[in-house]
Amino acid sequence: MTEQRLHPRGKPLRTDVNPVRLLMCKIDGKDISAREDETILSVARQNGINIPTLCHLDGLSERGACRLCIVEVKGAPRLLPSCVTLVRQDMEVTTNSERVTAYRRKILELLFTERNHVCSVCVSNGQCELQALSVELGMSHVHFDYIYPRHSIDATHSRFSVDHNRCVLCARCIRVCDEVEGAHVMDVMGRGITAKVITDLSQPWGDSETCTGCGKCVHVCPTGALSEKGKSVAEMTKRRQFLPYLQLMRKEGQK
C-alpha cells in the first residue's frame, strides 16, 4: 500500500499529477538527483561540490546570515543562500561563478575588518574556520579600512571564556545552547555593528544561573571567540562529533 502524501499542514496532496518527491536538478552542470526537502547546500555537498559556509552547521537550524553560501540560480532575480534554499525540479545552480566567488571574498574581507582577527595570537590559530575560509577563497589581504572597535573579554566562567573581539556573530553558540542543550543562555543584544552575543540578561557568564557548563557552545564556535580556559595560542581544538550523533539519536528516539 502506498503511504498517503501529506502537505506539511496536514492536508492530503494529490498524487495523480506531478508527484514530485524525488527530483532532478543541475549543479555546476552536473546532473543530480535529490529529495524535495533538501537544500542546495546539502545536495551539493553530497555530490562532492563544496560551497563555503560559516553560519551553517550540520545539526543546527539554518540562519542564512553569513551570506557566504550564495549561489546563482538560473532564472532567479537575486543570488540565493544555498543553506536555506530548497532544490526544485529542473533547477540549474552555479556555485562557483566569478561573480559569486568575488562577492564571497569581499564578504569575508568585511568580516576581517569588523573585529580583531589577528591569528598569530589566537587560541584557535590553525583550527579556525574563518582562517580556513580565507585560505580557501584566496583572500590574502583586506582592501577596506579596519573598524576594530574595542570589545570586552568575559573570563568570569570557571571553565570557558569569550573574547568578543573574535566573534563573527554567526549565532551557532546561541542555537546550539537553545536547540540542543535547551538552556538558551545566550542571545544577541543591540543592533547593527554594535550587536553582541550576551549571556543571560547581559550578565557575566560566570554568574549565569542558566548555563549548565556543557561546553557545546565552545565547540561549535567557528573562531577563537569561545574557548576553554587554559588553552594557549593554537591549542584550542574543537570537537563537533556530538552534534550529528545527538541529532541522529533524537530522530531514532522519535520513531
Using CB atoms within 10 Å of the CB of residue 7, give its burial: 0 to 12 exposed, 13 to 18 middle, 19+ buried.
exposed
Q: Which residues pair with 23 in a beta bridge?
A: 34
CB of 215 to other proteins, least distance (A): 25
The answer to the question of residue 65 lying near ligand FES (CB under 6 A) is yes
| The dihedral sign for the CA sequence 191, 195, 199, 205 | negative
Exactly one of 63, 104, 157, 172 binds ligand SF4 (CB under 6 A); that residue is: 172
| The dihedral sign for the CA sequence 178, 180, 182, 186 | negative
Residue 95 is classified by DSSP as S
Q: Using CB under 6 A, which of the segments 27-35, 71-79, 139-147, 222-230 binds ligand SF4? A: 222-230
The answer to the question of residue 122 lying near ligand SF4 (CB under 6 A) is no
Q: Using CB under 8 A, which of the segments 39-47, 106-114, 125-133, 202-210 binds other proteins? A: 106-114
The number of residues that bind ligand SF4 (CB under 6 A) is 14
Residue at grid coordinates 591569528: 119
Measured CA to CA, the distance from residue 200 to residue 157 in angstroms comes to 13
Return all residues near 157 (Cβ < 8 A) that are at least 6 apart: 205, 206, 208, 211, 213, 229
110 binds, among other proteins, ligand SF4, ligand FES, none (CB under 5 to 8 A by kind): other proteins
The answer to the question of residue 14 lying near other proteins (CB under 8 A) is no
Exactly one of 53, 95, 199, 223 binds ligand SF4 (CB under 6 A); that residue is: 223
Exactly one of 106, 151, 231, 240 binds other proteins (CB under 8 A); that residue is: 106
All cell numbers assigned to 128 = 579556525
Residue at grid coordinates 580565507: 134
Contacts of ligand SF4 in 91-110 (CB under 6 A) = none
The answer to the question of residue 232 lying near other proteins (CB under 8 A) is no
Q: Using CB under 8 A, which of the segments 16-24, 140-148, 154-162, 200-208 binds other proteins? A: 140-148
Measured CA to CA, the distance from residue 98 to residue 116 in angstroms comes to 28
All cell numbers assigned to 226 = 569561545
The answer to the question of residue 44 lying near ligand SF4 (CB under 6 A) is no
Which residues of this chain interact with other proteins, rule CB under 8 A? 7, 9-11, 63-68, 70, 78-79, 81, 84, 103, 106-107, 110-111, 113-114, 143-145, 147, 168-169, 187-188, 190-195
